[in-house]
């Protein structure tokens, strides 16, 4: 992916960022199999706050239910995979470097400081959601991180080794390209 294209994409106007967040909200709502929250009239910042509250509440309820969460994890993963697959195809994402560059842009929409290297190492030094999520909620919702990055590349696997929600100074993970889409393992 060319650096010029990435710079152009890096200057997304606020309405485009808000629309990307609304698409993420719809995808997540579908994974939780519930009704979409009304977002009309809300700014991007207000939508982001609603999304954080919504995901924390829905994931918390799922965790408290005591039921098997594998189906929910799979829906979160595959819905995020589909969200990532479209820009991945359109932009011709082929390498881990490309995944990391586009990942940085997409996560910035969510007020997440995402830094990834060409060898797949990921550091998240600041995460908007860390003040909303418990460690358990974060682990469940991170199925979406796995799905999104795999979708960007067409296949891949993300494993987190530490998280801000677990008291660490940053999140660390590793993304590996794979021959076929992986399941939600984060």
For the segment 117-176, what is each residue's pLDDT rounded down to a tens digit?
989 999 999 999 999 999 999 999 999 999 999 999 999 999 999 999 999 999 999 999
Share of the chain above pLDDT 70, in %: 89
Query: Is the pLDDT reported for residue 5 higher than 70?
Result: no
What span, in angstroms and rounded, lies between the C-alpha atoms of 66 and 68?
7
For the segment 53-108, what is each residue's pLDDT rounded down to a tens digit?
999 999 999 999 988 899 999 999 999 999 999 988 888 888 899 999 999 989 99
pLDDT for res 183: 45
Order of strands, sheet of 121-127, starting from the edge strand that comes earlier in the sequence: 112-116, 121-127, 171-176, 157-162
What span, in angstroms and rounded, lies between the C-alpha atoms of 155 and 149?
8
Task: Dump strand ranges (E) for the chain.
Answer: 112-116, 121-127, 157-162, 171-176
Contact 99, 173 (CB under 8 A): no
The whole-model pTM stands at 0.89
pLDDT for res 9: 57
Query: Is the pLDDT reported for residue 3 higher than 60?
Result: no
At residue 34's C-alpha, the angle toward residues 31 and 60, to 5°, is 75
What span, in angstroms and rounded, lies between the C-alpha atoms of 60 and 15?
30
Domains recognised in the chain with CATH numbers: 3-176 (3.30.1380)
What mean pLDDT is reported for the chain? Answer: 89
Query: Is the pLDDT reported for residue 4 higher than 50?
Result: no
Alpha-carbon Rg for the chain, nearest whole angstrom, is 15
């Amino acid at each position: 992916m060319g650096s010029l294209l990435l710079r152009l994409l890096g200057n997304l106007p606020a309405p485009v960022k808000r629309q990307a967040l609304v698409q993420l909200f719809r995808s997540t709502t579908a994974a939780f199999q519930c009704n979409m929250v009304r977002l009309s009239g809300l700014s991007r910042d207000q939508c982001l706050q609603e999304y954080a509250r919504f995901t924390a509440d829905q994931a918390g309820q799922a965790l408290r239910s005591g039921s098997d969460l594998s189906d929910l994890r799979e829906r979160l993963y595959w819905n995020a995979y589909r969200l990532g697959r479209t820009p991945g195809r359109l932009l011709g994402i082929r390498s881990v470097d490309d995944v990391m560059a586009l990942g940085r842009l997409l996560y910035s929409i969510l007020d997440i400081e995402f830094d990834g290297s060409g060898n797949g190492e990921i550091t998240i030094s600041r995460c908007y959601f860390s003040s909303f999520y418990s460690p358990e909620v974060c682990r469940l919702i991170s199925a979406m991180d796995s799905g999104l990055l795999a979708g960007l590349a067409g296949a891949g696997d993300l494993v987190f080794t530490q998280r801000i929600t677990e008291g660490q100074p940053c999140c660390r993970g590793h993304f590996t390209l794979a021959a076929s889409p992986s399941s939600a393992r984060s």
